[in-house]
């Protein structure tokens, strides 16, 4: 791979505007036969989403993926969501008990609309076997598999039956994989996304490294159908993390799914905890994201997300912000 770059190194080039108002621009996206308001999904992490937020998002027309860290709650969660006519979107791992869980769902006649296989190193037989297990027992569930960082991995997971793949090894804000292992797409996530998207025949979800709303448009430009975001969604009133005060300022915790705070032990730790500024309501952020993305579409010279996919771009090597703070 040559010519690597990340979000900060790229600017999209404006094209002639064809709308009179940004409100004419449509940010919606289709995934798995469902239409969602934004190509954005909050990370399936314990300090980002819980059952209440999942319900709020589904009712509001947004995509969501529930995390897998309260495994015993999943059956009732699926029943509850589908009982209300909402999509059921859950996560699984690859350990033996997760195979049993998928069998239990099939026996109960429960088909989640979306199942995400949430594993650090998704290019593995463990994930391929789980994709095949789910597809054998729950063929109507839309399976998202990951995480990966290479075209080979995308092809293998797609060939195994995955309906979408999730790209991003190590670019996350609370990730320490790159430091502890020396591997990953941290620092070149956007280029890795482009590399993977060229090989993909099914949707790609870009995961990790989004620091500004403009990064969502850049992800779409380089091949993402959907963008998974953790840190920008941390710290809201509704966010599950604990709130504390530091120097008189309210902050909320955000920790990695492979951190010792999640695992309850110091074994194979590849995540850390941080505190983020308290941000107000989640809905306000979603509305602002939508407005910013509508503006991106207008700069792309179109009325729909697809307009962004073909815009020109320039590489400006870390100079976009010219030393300024982002906000």
Ligand X SMILES: Nc1nc2c(ncn2[C@@H]2O[C@H](COP(=O)(O)O)[C@@H](O)[C@H]2O)c(=O)[nH]1
Strands 89-92 and 226-229, sheet pairing: unpaired
Bridge partners, residue 14, by sequence: none
Greatest C-alpha distance within the chain: 58
- By a kind-dependent CB cut-off of 5 to 8 A, residue 228 interacts, out of ligand NDP, ligand X, none, with ligand X
Q: Is 208 annotated as a binding residue?
A: yes
Task: Check the annotation: does 65 bind a ligand.
Answer: no
Which spans of this chain sit near ligand NDP (rule: CB under 6 A)?
Answer: 93-95, 118-121, 126, 147, 168-170, 172, 175, 177, 208, 257-258, 268, 270
Tally the C-alpha atoms within 13 A of residue 145's C-alpha that lie toward its C-beta: 30
> Which of these is catalytic: 17, 25, 175, 196?
175
Annotated ligand binding at 215? The verdict is yes
17 counts as catalytic: no
Annotated binding-site residue? 1: no
Please choose which of ligand X, ligand NDP, none residue 209 contacts, taking the beta carbon within 5 to 8 angstroms, the exact cut-off set by kind: ligand X
Is 164 assigned a ligand-binding role in the annotation? no
Give the distance, in angstroms, between the CA of residue 168 and the centroid of all CA atoms in the same chain.
9
Query: What residues are paired with 276 via a beta bridge?
Result: 252
Task: Name which of 218, 127, 238, 117 is nearest 171 in CA terms.
Answer: 218
- Residue ranges in contact with ligand X by CB under 6 A: 43, 45, 147, 168, 170, 172-175, 177, 207-210, 228-231, 256-259, 270-271
Shortest distance (Å) from residue 5 CB to ligand X: 17
Q: Which H helix or E strand runs over 204?
A: strand 204-207
Q: CB–CB of 306/230 below 8 Å?
A: no
What residues contact 149, with CB distance under 8 A and at least 6 apart? 123, 167, 168, 169, 184, 185, 192, 196
Residue 121 interaction partner, one of ligand NDP, ligand X, none, beta carbon < 5-8 Å per kind: ligand NDP
Q: Are 307 and 300 in contact (CB under 8 A)?
A: yes
Closest approach, Cβ 197 to ligand X, in A, equals: 17
Tell the smallest beta-carbon distance from residue 98 to ligand NDP (Å).
8
Of these partners, ligand NDP, ligand X, none, which one is at the site of residue 95 (CB under 5 to 8 Å by kind)? ligand NDP
Binding residues: 204-227
Binding residues for NADP(+): 204-227
Q: Annotated active-site positions, please? A: 175
């Amino acid at each position: 791979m040559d010519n690597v770059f990340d979000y900060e190194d790229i600017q999209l080039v404006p094209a002639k505007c064809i709308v009179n108002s940004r409100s004419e621009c449509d940010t919606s996206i289709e995934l798995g036969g469902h239409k969602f308001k934004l190509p954005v999904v909050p990370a399936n992490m314990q300090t980002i989403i819980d059952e209440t937020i999942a319900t709020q998002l589904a009712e509001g027309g947004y995509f969501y993926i529930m995390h897998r860290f309260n495994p015993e709650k999943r059956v009732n969660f699926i029943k509850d969501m589908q009982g209300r006519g909402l999509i059921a979107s859950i996560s699984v791992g690859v350990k033996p008990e997760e195979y049993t869980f998928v069998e239990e769902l099939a026996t109960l006649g429960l088909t989640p609309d979306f199942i995400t296989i949430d594993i650090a190193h998704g290019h593995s037989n463990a994930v391929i076997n789980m994709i095949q297990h789910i597809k054998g027992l729950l063929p109507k569930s839309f399976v998202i598999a990951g995480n990966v960082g290479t075209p080979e991995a995308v092809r293998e997971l797609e060939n195994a039956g995955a309906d979408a793949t999730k790209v991003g090894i190590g670019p996350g804000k609370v990730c320490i994989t790159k430091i502890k292992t020396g591997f990953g797409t941290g620092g070149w996530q956007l280029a890795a996304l482009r590399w993977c998207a060229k090989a993909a025949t099914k949707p790609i979800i870009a995961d990790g490294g989004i620091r500004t709303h403009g990064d969502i448009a850049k992800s779409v430009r380089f091949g993402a159908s959907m963008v998974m975001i953790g840190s920008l969604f941390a710290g809201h009133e509704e966010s599950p993390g604990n709130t504390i005060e530091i120097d008189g300022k309210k902050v909320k915790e955000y920790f990695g799914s492979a951190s010792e705070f999640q695992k309850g032990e110091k074994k194979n730790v590849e995540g850390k905890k941080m505190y983020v500024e308290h941000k107000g309501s989640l809905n306000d952020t979603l509305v602002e994201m939508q407005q910013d993305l509508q503006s991106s579409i207008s700069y792309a010279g179109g009325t729909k997300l697809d307009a962004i996919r073909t815009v020109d771009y320039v590489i400006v090597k870390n100079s976009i912000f010219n030393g300024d703070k982002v906000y």
